[in-house]
Amino acid sequence: MKHANLFFPKEMITCGVGLLLALFGGLLLTSNMAAASALTITTTSPLPNGTEDTFYSTTFAASGGTAPYAWTITSGSVPGLAVTSTGVLTGVPAAASAYSITVQVIDSTTPTHLTATAIFNITTAVSTNTNFYVSTSGSNSNNGSSGSPWATIAYAVTKAGPGITINVAPGTYNETAEIAINTGGSASGGYFILKSTTPGGAIINGGSVAVGTTGYAYGLVQIGSGTNNIGYVTVDGFEVTNFKTGTSTKTNKLVPAGIALQGSGTNIQIVNNNINNVWNQGKATNHTGNCPSGSPEAFGLVVAGTSGTTPLTNISIIGNTLSNMMTGCSETMELDGNINGFIIGNNLVHNNSNIGIAALGGEGVASGYSQYNGSPNDQARNGEIYGNTVYENPSNGTGTTPPVAAASNPYGSKCYCADGIYLDGSASNIVERNTVYLVDLGIEVTGEGAAQNTTNNTVRDNLFFYNTAVGISIGGQGTSGGSSNSTVVNNTTWDNGNNSNGAIGEFATGTDLTGTNIVENNIFYASSVTGTLVDAVTTSTVTLNYNLYYAPSSSENWIWGSKTYTTFSTYQSGSKQEANSQYADPMFVNINATPPTTLPNLNVQAGSPALAKGTILSPISTVGAFDVTGITPRILVTNDTIDIGAYEQ
């Protein structure tokens, strides 16, 4: 369980055929033509069939050209599925039908990338599971058939097993006990599916359920425990609400959660749920944000890989809404411990009292490991966090309704500590196509402890705007922790650091930033409060280039180590960075906005200096398949150009 401590530190050359022939006697041209003829998609159609409400994953393959490859879907779609940039078609099919998609692969050949396309058919079917039913008018003495449904969800899940679907009719279920799913499905027997027959229609009300003290957290809906291996489970379409405690965790260790997954296992989906009003109103032991033992904690949704030997894998958290949480020192959505392979996609996280989405590690959550251990067996890794919207989650608790009482707020009114998205001790994750606003730190890639392994994370094609302290931050917080090998590309930030207390600006590097850190193709547009476009504490391990800067409403400044520069040219010469970057108006479509009442349109207009002025990074898989819309392909191979910022024209 974590909290963010805000630190207060300060080409593509397109050679014509004639030129190539003249310089190389046709040899390079022949080589490129041979490579072009060799690049093919080797996966054949049709793709493996899928099943509604059941996790799906298949990987496309190619041969020839220059690896690694980047993949996109150029036409067609399968509801619930998306393709990753590395070529994995994955997700949870949302409907049963026959579909056709066109898939494109792009290779890393230079100076001109090679492509291949193929059309694939895929069929998704209705589940063949045995169906049971729950209704507010039922009885637990019934047999669970459609004509004789059970009355409570807690009782129904005691019948869980492979190939079982429990269909819950609309209505409010005032459960008196935790809904504990201790038996899942299997690869051979099929999934166990717990499903609201009408999305959001079945309401699980925890007002009569006492928060317990067992496990990493005590979920109103609890999947697995700290000791068992569970898998092949789907929880789909519920409203989970009103699960609260007013007692401090100092004595009783009460940590409520709307939905909690704990233990080890594989292929677990938590999709299309509305989780709200999970509160810990226990009195905070102090208001400094240090969160000592006994501080109040709660979660909207938590995944804890508590086995040090067997990870949680293929975890999908898609299409959920999490709102009005009072989480104290914990997060609205957290993945922590031994987790290898996850998706956090298209969720809405808003009006909560602390961090929105967190992928963590090194906390000693997995058995056999102590805190700040740096082991891959105790971290969330190889995940994708995409398409989420996170807003109004400040650490002072004012984002909730009603606002968090001062006694329950561990941070105090002047601590701007809550991240929209937080990578702390997690590794090899991709954060793309998210929109984050009205939090304290848009995204932070850091480590709170010296031995945490926050490394190889990519932040691309996101929008960060109107956040109190900073848009994007990588590196340590002034403590012993830090991060390494972060790639920050094609993001757009606007009007961050807009509070005079604790404001930093658009982009920041902290302490202990090691490895190779790339910051390219981003638009940084400063707020009128600070005018700060870059605040770099660590300068030796970060490369900035092909970025677009603008600060029309203030005196622009760039802080590079111990020096502050107030013109772009002096910053370029002083930092020895940004040779291909620009200082110019990006020409946003509309910034006459005051979030959350009105939102800006940070796409750019025709004639923008952002157009076709970016660089295509190598390997090509570093570049996102789509821009922030999730629709427009990022790379236009016909002319090998890329735009700066989160949008591609």
Return the half-sphere exposure (C-beta side, CA atoms, 13 A cut-off) of residue 141: 0
At 308, the amino acid letter reads: G
> Quick one: the chain helix, strand, coil %, rounded to 5?
5, 40, 55
Contact predicate 474/509, CB 8 Å: yes
The one-character DSSP state at 23 is H
pLDDT higher than 50, residue 19: no
> pLDDT tens for residues 413-466?
778 889 999 999 999 999 999 999 999 999 999 999 888 999 999 999 999 999
Check: CB of residue 326 under 8 Å from CB of residue 364. no
| Closest by Cα among 319, 316, 357, 310 to 337 | 310
Residue 18 reports pLDDT greater than 50: no
pLDDT value for 17:
31
pLDDT > 70: percent of the chain: 93
pLDDT at 251: 66
- What pLDDT was estimated at residue 23? 30
Distance CA 52, CA 191 (A): 11
Q: So what's the pLDDT on residue 639? A: 65
Are 183 and 232 a contacting pair, CB within 8 Å? no
The pLDDT score that the predictor gives to residue 92 is: 86
- In sequence order, what DSSP letters do the residues of 444-496 get, joined into one string? EEE-SSTT---BS-EEES-EEES-SSEEEEESB-SSS--EE--EEES-EEES-
Region for residue 323 given its phi and psi (left: phi exceeds 0; alpha: psi -120 to 50; beta: otherwise): beta
- Cis bond upstream, residue 402 (ω within 30): yes
Give the pLDDT score at 15: 31
Is 90 exceeded by the pLDDT of residue 407? Answer: no
Q: Tens digit of pLDDT for each residue in 70-92?
A: 898 989 999 989 888 889 998 88
The SS3 of residue 324 is coil
Q: How many CB atoms lie within 10 A of CB 128?
A: 10
Report whether 391 contacts 347 (CB < 8 A): no
User: At 621, is the pLDDT very low, low, confident or very high (cuts 50, 70, 90)?
Assistant: confident
H-helix or E-strand spanning residue 153: helix 153-156
Looking at residue 261, what is its pLDDT? 98
Residue 592 predicted with pLDDT over 90: yes
Domain ranges for the chain: 1-10+440-649, 39-125, 160-433
Cβ contact 220:209 at 8 Å: yes
CATH architecture group of domain 39-125: Sandwich (2.60)
Give the residue with greater pLDDT, 4 vs 419. 419
pLDDT of residue 12: 31
Cα–Cα distances (Å) from 190 to 52, 186, 484, in that order, read 12, 5, 41
Contact 613, 648 (CB under 8 A): no
Sign of the Cα pseudo-torsion (148, 152, 155, 160, in order): positive
Sequence letter at residue 480 = S
C-alpha pair distances (Å), 223 with each of 100, 180, 226, 230, 616: 35, 6, 10, 8, 43
Residue 247 pLDDT > 90, yes or no? no
Span 33-39, average pLDDT: 56
Q: Of 359, 362, 355, 366, which Cα lies nearest the Cα of 380?
A: 359
Pairing of strands 513-514, 483-484: parallel
What are the pLDDT digits (tens) for 479-534? 788 999 999 999 999 999 998 777 999 999 999 999 999 999 999 999 999 999 99
